[in-house]
Every structure is written in C-alpha cells, then in structure tokens.
Amino acid sequence: MDIFIDTANLDEIRQANDMGVLDGVTTNPSLVAKEKVDFHKRLGEICEIVSGPVSAEVVSVDHDGMIREANALTKIADNIVIKLPCIVEGLKACKTLSDRGVRVNMTLCFQSLQAMLVAKAGAFLVSPFLGRIDDIAGDGVQLISEIRTIYDNYGYDTRILAASIRHSKHLVDVAKAGADVATVPFSVIKQMMSHPLTDVGLEKFLADWKKGQG
Ligand code: E4P
C-alpha cells in the first residue's frame, strides 16, 4: 500500500520524506489555510521535496472554473494531481481532464456509487473519507471494502486512496480491505514505526550487551 502524507506543512513533509517510504502528498483547502502561505508557491515547494503524486484541490464548484484552476495548477510541476470534489460538476471536470491525460483525485467520497461514477470518468484516484464516516457512527472501512469489490468486479483502474485516517488501526484495517493508498497525518506516520515493546526490548538488548562487554 502506498503511503501519502496529508498536510501542507513543509517540515512534516521533509521529516516523512526522510524516512524513505513516502509515496506522495495530499493537501486540501483547510490544510493550506492553516499554513497561511501562497497556495501555488507552497505546491511548488512540496513538489521539490516529493517526486510522487501531490494532490492540489480546486475551490471552484463549476466545471469551467475547475478546468481553469486545473490548467494553472498543472503548470506548477509534472507530479501535480488535480483534486476535485465528488459532485456532478466535479465528475464532468474529471472526465474532461482525464481525457486530456491529467491525473485527477476525486475527493469527499462518501458512498460507493460516487466511486463507481468517478472510475467511469477516468479518475486516477478516489478518496473515501473513512474518519468522517466513523465520526457520524458509520463504517468507513466497510466503504473501502465495498469500493474494492466493485472496482475488482469491473476491472476499474482508479486507485482507492483511504483518506481522513485518524489512527494506526485505521491503517491496518484499510490495508486489509485492499486500499491502494492511504493518506495519513504526520502524527499517525510517526506511530507506524513505534511500539513500547520495541523500545523496552532495545533498551534491554543494549544494557545486556554493555554488561557482556565488561
Ligand atoms: C484527503 O485528501 C483529505 O485531505 C483528508 O484526509 C481529510 O481528512 P480530515 O477528515 O482529517 O480533515
């Protein structure tokens, strides 16, 4: 499963990238607003650090506005992926851009039928938001499994990107459910390589080694 970081913070992106296992980045308007920086400039900086797909979200809600924004965003770097919302105008823009060879990430996906339509429109990625589904007492992991089954039944190429990940158990669950990618906050990326028994075990090995060496 590919691991993307879900942030527009350069320091977090650098630290995650230095771990050597980062495959891409997702941003959204809320994450960019938090950084209080120029959007295009920040995307350029991110693309200098990470060579994998970097999702940049439009804020227009009509087809033509989305295409105008996408045209400007794709000029920033070759690895920019255009992020569009799962609404009818977004679906139409997805088809237009995908037909032109532009990679699209369809975001704010909350039901498998949205995922089916965006696959038919040629989306490169679909982003089901499992944390937000769990927040309203739904089952986000079940949505990922449902989309996996539908995509496999019909051979759709769109990659399933598990988004809105809240904790490491979500990651295990989506990996078991067959997500192709998970986009993860930096706090959760750090949890992935950390276990108290690893720390205790390492401490003991090193202490025993020291004793053995006299
Ligand atoms: C995905 O690309 C989104 O940026 C993100 O995962 C949203 O997560 P949230 O529900 O934590 O805001």
Structural domains of the chain, with CATH: 2-212 (3.20.20.70)
Question: What pLDDT, on a 0 to 100 scale, did the predictor assign at position 214?
Answer: 73
Sequence-distant (≥ 6) Cβ neighbours of residue 6 within 8 angstroms: 25, 26, 27, 28, 31, 163, 165, 183, 184, 185
pTM (two decimals):
0.96
Name the band, by pLDDT with cuts 50, 70 and 90, for residue 23: very high
**In the beta sheet, which residues pair with residue 124?**
none
Give the nearest ligand 1 atom to 131 CA: 10
Is 114's pLDDT higher than 90? yes
**In the beta sheet, which residues pair with residue 83?**
57, 105
Which residue has the CA at smallest separation from atom 1 of ligand 1?
Answer: 163
The average confidence (pLDDT) of the chain is: 97
Task: Mark whether 83 is an active-site residue.
Answer: yes
DSSP H helix total and E strand total for the chain: 11, 8
206 Cα–ligand 1 center, Å: 40
Distance CA(109)–CA(70), nearest Å, equals 20
Question: Is residue 173 within 6 Å of ligand 1 at its C-beta?
Answer: no
Distance CA(7)–CA(117), nearest Å, equals 27
Marked catalytic residue, from 36, 83, 95, 204? 83
85 Cα–ligand 1 center, Å: 12
Sequence-distant (≥ 6) Cβ neighbours of residue 118 within 8 angstroms: 86, 91, 94, 106, 109, 126, 158
Question: What pLDDT, on a 0 to 100 scale, did the predictor assign at position 13?
Answer: 98
Average of per-residue pLDDT across 128-143? 97
Distance CA(144)–CA(162), nearest Å, equals 7
Which percentage of the chain shows pLDDT scores above 70?
100
CB distance 7 to 13 below 8 Å: yes
